[in-house]
Amino acid sequence: MTSQRVVPKIMILDDEPAIRDVLKLRLEREGYQVLQAGNYEEFKAVMVDCDAVLCDIILPGDSGLLALEWTRVHYPFTPVIILTGKPSYETAAEAIRLNAYDYLAKPVEKGELLLSIERAIQHRRLNLEKKRLEEENEAYRRQLEQQVVEQSEALEESQEFLTTISNTIADAVLSISLPDYRIVYANRAVTPIFGYQPEELLGQSIQRLYIDESRFESFQVQQKIAVATGRMQLRFEEAMLKKDGQTIWTEMVGTFLQTDESDLSQIICVVRDISQRSLLLGVVAHELRSPLSLITGFSQAVLRDIDDIDRDSIANYLQVIDDSGARMLKIVDGLLDITSIQLGQVDLKLETVDLSRLIKKFSGDYAYMAGKKNITLEEILPETPLECQCDPVKVGQVISNFIDNAIKFSGIDSKIEIMGQIKDEQIWIGVKDEGPGIKTEEIQHLFKSFGHTKISNKPTAGEKSSGLGLAISKKIIDAHHGKIGVDSHQNQGSTFWFSLPTNCNSNEMPV
């Protein structure tokens, strides 16, 4: 018995009946089921869960963008293809912001339209499949966590099932026999976390993953205390050892399994690598400690000697407190920026921008700061404008960060060149300094959060750095579909640069 073919449904929203009829006839010939509406209210009334929507941007009394926004809310997996006889940067940018799948100018060639529809339908199917797999994977994970607290007999009966599920999660799962503490099962996640293949650990003592014997003995003591107090599960953080000798911080959950005689037979350990979290907390604590110490120190001085301190000294103390608070706020804001960008919450307000003007603005803004070290800021710009579609605030943040870093890491009586040019349909912006340069092996850390902790160079006049500026800059340029990098050799200065496409409009930016 053959399965019946599912006919894809396409919704057409256009206020011109003739266009609707032509599109309907063309699509039905291609085997599509077609629904249609002539205005926004009719569209909302007849709209169902379609495979794609063709939406005219200009409607009587309303905009097709309202239909796009409404569809995103009520049918988030249905792709919307915008059609317009009057394309513009403004409507294109708004369509992209509202997550339109495509933006086509009328009249649309038959082949182009059908190709866009086919891709949109495939895009929808992939997203639905991804959602299904994510839900299935989450269900598997929860089921595994429930299974690992069952008795050893139930574990043995479902060993094949549990093995399949455990290999779908990112945490390492280890089954440890008692009383010899040997590993009898390891899932595939042990490879990215510990560097071992699962078969390399089978039959080995769990002690191999501990940094020394005392930490392993501590684990044994914790296990015995937990059992003695009636707890069948143990959760703790532990420094553990990778195959290459590197130490990583992990969060471990151990569940004890008993035999019918109530003797402990196994420990099921779920191990998660939390090294990045620990590193982040450590670096943030380190970065905040210095300004916080200044705030508490000067606050205590004022409170202790308030009757003996003159007004000017109090003003100086308050200025130090204010500067330190501002520095802490900048660190926190940077962390929030990084988090928002990584969550995809980058709201780009695109407009036509002359980057030459942005460069001149920030060059002027930093003239005073550069003057303190007798640094010359030189602008090397073409006579023609460096125009592209971008968010001027966020791209300005990148330029500002480049200039700020160049001043911090440049010596007295040096020169900084701020350059701009058009290369191969790309607008290229670079900031060149005469600083100490960067070691080749350190460049890979530059655009990572708190990457400055792995860089040997330090600001030349004791300036402070949160270590987030370049990481944020990279996320901003990535969001613009541009490129960012650095050209540097030790003792020869550095040139930090980024490039944006001159034709960076909504038709060419990936959706």
Q: pLDDT tens across 200-212, in order? A: 999 999 999 998 8
* Intervals of CATH 3.30.450.20 along the chain: 152-273
Q: What is the pLDDT of residue 508?
A: 37
- Report domain 351-501's class: alpha beta
pLDDT, one tens digit per residue, over 150-198 is 665 555 666 666 667 767 778 889 889 988 999 999 998 899 999 999 9
Q: Which string of DSSP letters, residue by residue, matches 412-473?
A: TT-EEEEEEEEETTEEEEEEE--S----GGGGGGTTSTTGGGG-----TT-----S-HHHHH
**pTM recorded for the entire structure:** 0.42
Q: What is the pLDDT of residue 467?
A: 58
Strand partners, 82: 55, 103
The residues, any chain, with a CB within 8 Å of residue 225's CB and separated by 6 or more, are none
What pLDDT band is residue 283 in, cutting at 50, 70 and 90? low
pLDDT reading at 501 higher than 60: yes
Average pLDDT over residues 455-476: 65
Compute the Cα dihedral for 197, 237, 155, 164 and give only its sign: negative
Selected from 3.40.630.10, 1.10.287.130, 3.40.50.620, 3.40.50.1370, the CATH number assigned to the domain covering 277-342 reads 1.10.287.130
CATH 3.30.450.20 fits 152-273, yes or no: yes
Q: What is the pLDDT of residue 260?
A: 64
* Intervals of CATH 3.40.50.2300 along the chain: 9-131
Average pLDDT over residues 431-442: 88
The two three-digit tokens of residue 329, written as one number: 């706020």
Q: How are strands ordered across the β-sheet holding 426-432?
A: 376-380, 415-423, 426-432, 494-501, 483-488
* Intervals of CATH 3.30.565.10 along the chain: 351-501
pLDDT reading at 123 higher than 70: yes
Q: How far apart are CA 438 and CA 43, in angstroms?
A: 59
The two three-digit tokens of residue 366, written as one number: 């930093």
Q: Which of 365, 497, 361, 494 is nearest to 438 (CA)?
A: 494
Residue written as tokens 């969001």? 479
Percent of the chain with pLDDT over 70: 82
Fold of 9-131: Rossmann fold (3.40.50)
